[in-house]
A and B are shown apart, each in its own frame.
Chain A
Amino acid sequence: MSAENAITAHQLTKRFGDFTAVDAISFEVKKGEIFGFLGANGAGKTTAIRMLTGLNRPTGGEATVAGFDVYRQSEKIKENIGYMSQKFSLYEDLSIRQNIRFYGGIYGLRSNEIKEKTEQILTSLTLEAYADKIVGELPLGWKQRLAFAVANVHDPAIVFLDEPTGGVDPATRRRFWEMIYATANLGRTIFVTTHYMDEAEYCDRISIMVDGKIAALGSPGELKERFSATTMDEVFVSLARPK
């Protein structure tokens, strides 16, 4: 089973005092899949992601990420995943080259590997001429693509993207999704959250969290059919605000 699954969660639960933030969620993400993890603010997405990335210990249930157990092997999980958030997690006062070297080092790449990766990233993003430019001075779209490349620097099995496209212009947003597609085509698993409902359509499958539970899970086509909706926006609204 775990041979085809990048993530498995079974009855995964997190309680803070008497508040249940994540309420016994179960799902699987297949290897190479683009999995959209949606939900309203406060539905429990962030808490669930923190458990899956080994940052928070669950209160109950089971989960494995890249084949490792979230209770016992959280350090192994961190080594085998990439993570990128809306805030990009790059060091603004380091150059492009220094950021790549820093993250390569953090993930334990050897110096010749870091050198190789640096060239590879600079070429694929056509940033060769800007390698020594300070990241804080780069346009938002460049930073975003660089952050994605850096999150992939150690060839992780899974990349978690937490609202990666917030605030960027429509052309950059689309170029970014093409990077996601290309990466998924290499067999890497993508776990992504977004508030843009058109982006939900680009995912292979989607789960929608409501009040700590997974209220729906399926491909965009299946979900639209199940909720008699023409867009994912309608599906989302009918789930997040029932009545």
Chain B
Amino acid sequence: MNSSIKISNINHSFGEVQALKDISFEVAPGELFGLIGPDGAGKSTLFRILTTLLVPSSGNATVAGWDVKKDLKQIRRRVGYMPGRFSLYQDLTVEENLQFFATIFGTTIEEGYHLIEEIWVQIEPFRKRRAGKLSGGMKQKLALCCALIHQPEVLFLDEPTTGVDAVSRREFWDMLQRLKEHGITILVSTPYMDEAMRCERIALIQAGEILSIDTPQGIIGSYKKPLFAVRSKNFYQLLQDLRGYEGTERVEPFGEYLHLTTKAQVDSEVIETLMNNQGHQEIVVKPVEATIEDVFLDLM
């Protein structure tokens, strides 16, 4: 099987806490694969296992064809890893950090430069600055350069966009799309559900279990229940009222609308009349397509 990452029945426990429960999936070479789930879902534990930093309680996995339990050196040479917590040397300069990572991997900045060029030019003006003195966005870019400088086959990015603003997040994902063109396999985790759409395939993960694996469109398409976007002038009251409606399966705020899933197929007009009768004003009801977050909430 020609998989870049192959995970078979991985379990991991920390004392009594079962952090990963029977995880299995594969990532194809050159694929951009997203692990989508909240804090505590087990994402970082899985990354640590795949990068040979943690031995799983049971199960097997291979990365670039090598066994995570036996072939530590081979794997470490072939992967780039950007952990969730900033882990560069704070009192080395930007340039010294990059040089350091190139040296320990037995390569030079020149050899890997083509991979990092686009990102590096953005931080180069600060190359004499200590890494600890960089802004959040700059740290993130430096960490990515350091994870790429030895030209890894597989790149592991653990929550690279957490705490990053909506615009910088978007730019980061544009950067990943371009990295993909170099043929690197990328496994990236995120708690932001909207970022799932930027991946080729995703796994939804919650409390150590995989809820679903598919393309983003496939996951959205798996939501077969009737779904409506609803709003009225008194948003909070509307939420309470719709919770009390017998035809409601679930109702949750989604930005300026509530998303209402009904138990059976109904017309928008039926819901509108119902709200009207309860005294709501400026009512809008329309059928909508599910988002990744709707599916996640449904599967939780």
Contact = CB atoms under 8 A, between A and B. Distances in A.
Interface of A: 39-42, 86, 139-140, 163, 166-172, 174, 177-178, 181, 185, 195-202, 220-221, 231-233, 236-237, 240-241
Nearest to B191: A167
B121 interface: no
B252 A231 contact: no
Contact of A41 (B136, B159, B193): B136
Contacts of B25: none
Interface string B184-198: 000000011100000
B80 to A, nearest CB: 23
B38 interface: yes
A166 B137 contact: no
Contacts, number: 87
A86 B164 CA distance: 13
Interface in B265-294: 293
B101 interface: no
A139 B256 CA distance: 28
Given A140-B39, A169-B206, A181-B236, A237 B167 contact: yes
Interface of B: 37-41, 135-137, 159, 162-170, 191-193, 206, 235-236, 239, 252-256, 293, 296-297, 300
Nearest to A139: B40
A157 B140 CA distance: 37
B166 A197 contact: yes
A167 to B, nearest CB: 4
A232 B39 contact: no
A240 B167 contact: yes
B253 A177 contact: yes
Contact of A237 (B41, B162, B166): B166
Contacts of A40: 165, 167-168
B76 to A, nearest CB: 28
6 contacts: A40-B167, A140-B40, A167-B191, A168-B191, A177-B253, A195-B169
Contact of B256 (A42, A163, A220): A220
Given A231-B255, A233-B166, A237-B170, A168 B38 contact: yes
A170 B164 contact: no
Contact of B252 (A39, A169, A174): A174
Given A167-B39, A169-B300, A171-B297, A240 B165 contact: yes
Contact of B297 (A170, A231, A233): A170
A240 B41 CA distance: 32
A221 B235 CA distance: 13
B141 to A, nearest CB: 12
A236 to B, nearest CB: 5
A232 B256 CA distance: 9
Nearest to A241: B167
B163 A163 contact: yes
Which of B164, B192, B236, B300 has most chain A Cβ within 10 Å?
A: B236
B41 to A, nearest CB: 8
A41 B296 contact: no
A41 B254 contact: no
Contact of A39 (B38, B165, B293): B165
A233 B195 CA distance: 13
A41 B293 CA distance: 25
Given A42-B137, A169-B300, A86 B163 contact: yes
B256 A41 contact: no
Nearest to A221: B256
Given A201-B255, A233-B166, A168 B135 contact: no
Nearest to A175: B252
Contacts of A199: 255
Contacts of A202: 235, 253, 255
A163 B293 CA distance: 19
A195 B163 contact: yes
Given A167-B191, A169-B300, A237-B166, A174 B253 contact: yes
A198 B293 CA distance: 12
Given A167-B162, A169-B37, A232 B167 contact: no
Nearest to A163: B163
Contacts of B165: 39-41, 195, 236, 240
Contact of A42 (B40, B136, B159, B253): B136
Given A140-B39, A170-B300, 16 more contacts: A40-B167, A41-B164, A140-B38, A166-B163, A166-B191, A167-B159, A168-B38, A168-B191, A169-B37, A174-B252, A181-B236, A195-B165, A195-B166, A197-B255, A198-B253, A200-B255
B134 to A, nearest CB: 11
B158 to A, nearest CB: 12
A195 B253 contact: no
